[in-house]
């Protein structure tokens, strides 16, 4: 076989101590760590492309990336072991496989699932403080569920984008599923769609938390969507409650 081989990498990470996915000068990032380790392993300068860029403090259970490598010295299983041996413990490679040159982690994706976790109790346990957003007062989960149903379907989500002007592909998205579930003191917001705008899931979570606190009526969700204007009714929830859970192909 000739030419470089393209690999798909499924990975998970604790984003607490990283400045997000994307390489940035003088910052430690997930992409930067992958590219540093691959350079050490292959002596090549390799660009690693992800399904999407997660922000600083955001975690992943099912991020997908790809890269091309000229060297074929290692099998995918050996490459996975080598990556996990050299990457920080906060980043783990779950699977490596050779894929066709047409596969692209971002452009081949058909959908994504995110989950946002809230600890709704008087006290936040120290061991989950990096992975749960703490809301002390009881949240009205039923009101949050009503609001979430208004936000399902295909809509213009400009009012839920942190910067709608940067969206070159427009601001219409199809949210196939937006649910709010509570078990004990944990509330989980699950969002599944064909794609999400910049900080859109955190904006949805921020709005639903405001609804749960009784600060915003759940039925205003439809009017906010229709307005297309970002206001204080839609705050951006903190990053550490958010997980990129799965990417669909």
> What pLDDT does 165 receive?
62
CB 190, CB 179: distance < 8 Å: yes
Q: For 127-166, what is each residue's pLDDT tens digit?
A: 999 999 999 999 999 999 999 999 999 999 999 998 766 6
> How deeply is 228 buried, as exposed, middle or buried, from its count of CB atoms within 10 A (0-12, 13-18, 19+)?
middle
CA 233 to CA 220: how far, in whole Å?
10
Q: For 35-90, what is each residue's pLDDT tens digit?
A: 999 999 999 999 999 999 999 999 999 999 999 999 888 999 999 999 999 999 99
CA 80 to CA 133: how far, in whole Å?
32
Q: For 214-245, what is each residue's pLDDT tens digit?
A: 999 999 999 999 999 999 999 999 999 999 99
Pick the CATH number of 111-248 from 1.20.1050.10, 3.30.420.40, 1.10.10.10, 3.30.70.660: 3.30.70.660
CB 67, CB 83: distance < 8 Å: no
Q: Compute the radius of gyration of the chain from its Cα atoms.
A: 19
> What pLDDT does 73 receive?
83
Strand-pairing partners, residue 182, are 187
pTM of the model: 0.95
Which part of the chain has CATH 3.30.70.580?
A: 5-99
Q: At what angle do helices 76-86 and 30-42 cross, to 10 degrees?
A: 120
Share of the chain above pLDDT 90, in %: 94
Q: Which CATH architecture has domain 5-99?
A: 2-Layer Sandwich (3.30)
- Compute CA 104 distance to the chain's CA centroid, rounded to the nearest angstrom: 17
CA 157 to CA 155: how far, in whole Å?
6
What is the 8-class DSSP label of residue 105? Answer: T
> How deeply is 208 buried, as exposed, middle or buried, from its count of CB atoms within 10 A (0-12, 13-18, 19+)?
buried
CB 242, CB 199: distance < 8 Å: no
- Kindly list the catalytic residues: 55
Tokens of 227: 């307005």
Phi-psi category of 25—alpha, beta or left, where left has phi over 0 and alpha has psi -120 to 50? Answer: beta
CA quadruple 86, 10, 190, 134: dihedral, nearest 10? 0
Does 1 score more than 60 pLDDT? Answer: no
């Amino acid at each position: 076989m000739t030419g470089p081989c393209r690999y798909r990498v499924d990975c998970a990470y604790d984003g607490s101590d990283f400045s997000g996915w994307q390489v940035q000068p003088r910052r430690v990032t997930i992409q930067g760590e992958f590219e540093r380790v691959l350079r050490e392993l292959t002596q090549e300068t390799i660009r690693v492309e992800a399904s999407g860029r997660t922000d600083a403090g955001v975690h992943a259970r099912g991020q997908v990336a790809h890269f091309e490598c000229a060297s074929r010295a290692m099998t995918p299983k050996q490459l996975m072991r080598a990556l996990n041996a050299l990457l920080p413990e906060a980043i783990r490679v779950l699977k490596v496989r050779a894929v066709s040159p047409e596969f692209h982690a971002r452009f081949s994706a058909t959908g994504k699932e995110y989950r946002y976790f809230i600890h709704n109790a008087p006290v936040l346990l120290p061991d989950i403080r990096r992975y749960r957003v703490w809301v002390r007062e009881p949240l009205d989960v039923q009101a949050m569920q009503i609001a979430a149903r208004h936000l399902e379907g295909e809509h213009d989500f400009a009012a839920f984008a942190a910067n709608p002007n940067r969206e070159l592909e427009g601001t219409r998205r199809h949210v196939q599923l937006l649910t709010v579930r509570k078990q004990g003191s944990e509330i989980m917001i699950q969002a599944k769609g064909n794609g999400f705008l910049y900080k859109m899931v955190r904006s949805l979570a921020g709005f639903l938390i405001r609804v749960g606190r009784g600060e915003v009526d759940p039925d205003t969700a439809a009017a906010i969507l229709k307005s297309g204007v970002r206001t204080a009714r839609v705050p951006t929830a903190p990053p550490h409650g958010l997980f990129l859970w799965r990417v669909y192909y």
